Amino acid sequence: MTQNVTQTTKKRILTGDRPTGPMHIGHYVGSLENRVRLQGEYDCFFIVADYQFLTDHLKETDRTEYNIKQVILDWLSVGMDSTKSTFFIQSMVPEIAELTMYFSMLVTVARLHRNPTVKEEFKASGLHAMSYGFLGYPVSQAADILIVRSNLVPVGEDNLAHVEQTREIARTFNRTFKEVFPVPEALIGKVPRLPGIDGKKMGNSMDNAIYLGDAPEEVRRKVSAAITDPARIRATDKGHPDICNIYQYHLAYNKEESPDVARLCQQGKIGCVACKQNLAAKINAFLEPIRERRAFFETRPSIIGEAIREGNERTSQEGKRTIGLVREAMHFDYKELVGVSQAVGTMRSEL
Ligand code: TRP
Q: Cα–Cα distances in Å, from 343 out to 192, 274, 314, 321, 333? A: 45, 69, 22, 13, 5
300: which residues sit within 8 A by CB, 6+ positions away? none
* Distance from Cα 261 to the centre of ligand 1, integer Å: 35
* 100-131 pLDDT per residue, tens: 999 999 999 999 999 999 999 999 999 999 99
- Among 61-70, 130-139, 242-251, the least confident range: 242-251
22: which residues sit within 8 A by CB, 6+ positions away? 70, 74, 204, 211, 212, 213
* CB 17 near ligand 1, within 6 Å: yes
Can you tell me the distance from the alpha carbon of 303 to that of 82, in angstroms, rounded to the nearest whole number? 9
Can you tell me the distance from the alpha carbon of 197 to that of 249, in angstroms, rounded to the nearest whole number? 9
* CB 43 near ligand 1, within 6 Å: no
Can you tell me the distance from the alpha carbon of 90 to that of 150, in angstroms, rounded to the nearest whole number? 15
DSSP state of 107: S
* 274-308 pLDDT per residue, tens: 999 999 999 999 999 999 999 999 999 999 999 99
Q: Write the residue with the smallest CA distance to atom 14 of ligand 1.
A: 15
Residue 247 clears pLDDT 60, i.e. is over it = yes
Residue 344 clears pLDDT 70, i.e. is over it = no
* CB 52 near ligand 1, within 6 Å: yes
* Helix spans in 32-131 (H): 33-38, 50-57, 64-78, 94-103, 109-113, 116-125
The residue whose CB lies within 8 Å of the most ligand 1 atoms, and thus the one to mutate among 54, 91, 162, is 162
Can you tell me the distance from the alpha carbon of 133 to that of 173, in angstroms, rounded to the nearest whole number? 21
Report the amino acid identity of residue 49.
A
**Closest atom of ligand 1 relative to the 162 alpha carbon:** 1
* Distance from Cα 54 to the centre of ligand 1, integer Å: 13
Can you tell me the distance from the alpha carbon of 323 to that of 89, in angstroms, rounded to the nearest whole number? 18
**Confidence (pLDDT) at 76:** 98
Can you tell me the distance from the alpha carbon of 149 to that of 170, in angstroms, rounded to the nearest whole number? 10
* Distance from Cα 157 to the centre of ligand 1, integer Å: 11
Residue 347 clears pLDDT 60, i.e. is over it = no
**Confidence (pLDDT) at 119:** 97
* CB 145 near ligand 1, within 6 Å: yes
Residue 343 clears pLDDT 70, i.e. is over it = no
* CB 47 near ligand 1, within 6 Å: yes
Q: By the 8 A CB rule, do 67 and 19 touch?
A: yes
* 18-70 pLDDT per residue, tens: 999 999 999 999 999 999 999 999 999 999 999 999 999 999 999 999 999 99
- 3-state class (DSSP) for residue 186: strand
* CB 146 near ligand 1, within 6 Å: no
260: which residues sit within 8 A by CB, 6+ positions away? none
* CB 155 near ligand 1, within 6 Å: yes
Q: By the 8 A CB rule, do 247 and 227 touch?
A: no
The residue whose CB lies within 8 Å of the most ligand 1 atoms, and thus the one to mutate among 32, 96, 159, 193, is 159
**Closest atom of ligand 1 relative to the 150 alpha carbon:** 14
Q: What is the DSSP string of 275-339?
A: HHHHHHHHHHHHHHHHHHHHHHHHT-HHHHHHHHHHHHHHHHHHHHHHHHHHHHHTT-S-HHHH-
**Closest atom of ligand 1 relative to the 20 alpha carbon:** 15
* Distance from Cα 45 to the centre of ligand 1, integer Å: 12
* 202-227 pLDDT per residue, tens: 987 778 999 999 999 999 999 999 99
**Arithmetic mean of pLDDT, 149-167:** 97
